[in-house]
Structure 1
């Protein structure tokens, strides 16, 4: 099976053209391929397929075999992959995902690709949309959540997938590998959740670390960065444009007047090869 390995700020993916390659069991192959010792190694497997409602369909499988609704970093990588491999000549591409149609745009300056901008859609804030069950309020903003005797004030956002955002004074003191999975699987989140810890540097700059649902600690998360900006605005910590500093690098986010989140950042191909099934 031919594959190519990409990353967006260190959040890495194996991309397979499912229009040419056949995978019998996506879930099992994601487990095998993403294994960093016995496979290629990645945070997720991305399979590209035909679509009746968009230019292409994108299916994303986490390293634990579960299927993700959407992934912002994978979207940037897919857009550049499709364009550079001449599968499409469009610079604005529509991708069908479980979270709806996502639209990445390739941005060029003087003929050179400088960034990939993704319309992440509108944030969903009602508890039933996320879903989260700890509050009957219209929005879950700065609501206490008890985890193993500790109380965390959480803000919840869906970007087509659930996010639980927590603000801290010092992000370096967060034991992400310990608390991340406990919040991910907390009963308050019927479909589990991604977990973002945020330290506000100033109104235009936020430091973020993420525990991704189904993948664990990752270097970056595009939907998580989008949720982080929304949460920061709702809590009065940030303006509607900000740079999110992740373990793998920086993303620029804007919560525009049309209520859509726009995210810009890099997408890099690392290598390509043949995977022996």
Structure 2
């Protein structure tokens, strides 16, 4: 049963207050839509996320109202586009809700463009959330629903031809679209070289998130990530979820596994009905208020 929490968002105004946190090096700025004095448009998002002209981050998590869940979330990429779902972003957002007293219990629901998800604070440190588990929803392999332009019902081991390269791709949606490429060896230079071309390939109508993945054992994989709208990224919860789902689908790993990324490790569990459960740490970096000068630049 869905319990809608009564939280006094509009009565706790801290004008232009922000929190910056990271999940395994994947960092986001969290803000409350009722507390900002500027329009959250594309140019302002780009400025705030810029490491030189703004705070610097991999995106903005904006708390909004929802009639479907306890809290609503908009996930804004540093290029100004909007993401359907982010695993690290969800854990960071859940930490913010718990740490700042908006969530009145350790379990609550969050409404995203990719659907309603459920979060649970598993471990705390000095009364602050440290380890959070998120129910990421179901993995979807049907090409048309990802979406992928494919003649196959499921885009598995399909050839993707680039200008100077070709890959066998495996595509899945975990609320947002992903392309997983199995590799014997992982190369940061290679994913940076081809990441943008694959992300924006005509085969993917809504662009795509990319992962290079190497199987280490039945219980462990290693991945590199190119995130749609953000580029090369140290860690990603939705990318880890997508890779885990593809590995199970292809029979390469067990349903419980660890996904190692440059930023750290997440624990994933893929149920028989393809429900995905993800567990990992989150840490706050800083909190404060946007300066009058930055606000002047935004306006």
- TM-score normalized by the length of structure 1: 0.95
- State the match for 1:132 in structure 2: 148
Q: Which has the larger radius of gyration?
A: 2
Count of matched residue pairs: 276
Alignment of 1:199-210 (within 5 A): 199-210=214-225
SS in 2 for 1:225: helix
SS in 1 for 2:57: coil
SS in 1 for 2:284: strand
Per-residue deviation, residues 149-200 of structure 1 (Å, max 9, x unmatched): 3220000001111100001001037512111001001110011100000011
Q: Which deviates the most, 169-178 or 105-114?
A: 105-114
Alignment of 1:51-200 (within 5 A): 51-108=66-123, 113-133=129-149, 135-172=150-187, 175-200=190-215
Alignment of 1:255-274 (within 5 A): 255-274=270-289
In 2: Cα distance, 1:25 partner to 1:114 partner: 29
Per-residue deviation, residues 115-138 of structure 1 (Å, max 9, x unmatched): 1000000011111111111x3222
CA contact (8 A) 2:73 2:111 kept: yes
Alignment of 1:217-228 (within 5 A): 217-228=232-243
CA change 1:77–1:114 in 2 (3 A) is closer
Q: Offset of 1:114 from its aligned partner?
A: 5.0
In 2: Cα distance, 1:204 partner to 1:174 partner: 26
- State the match for 1:7 in structure 2: 22
In 1: Cα distance, 2:141 partner to 2:215 partner: 21
Q: CA RMSD in A?
A: 1.6
In 1: Cα distance, 2:40 partner to 2:93 partner: 21
The counterpart of 2:49, out of the listed 20, 34, 37, is 34
Q: Unpaired runs of 5+ in structure 2?
A: 1-15
Q: Offset of 1:109 from its aligned partner?
A: 7.4
Q: Which deviates the most, 14-23 or 38-47?
A: 14-23
CA change 1:91–1:197 in 2 (3 A) is same
CA contact (8 A) 1:141 1:234 kept: no
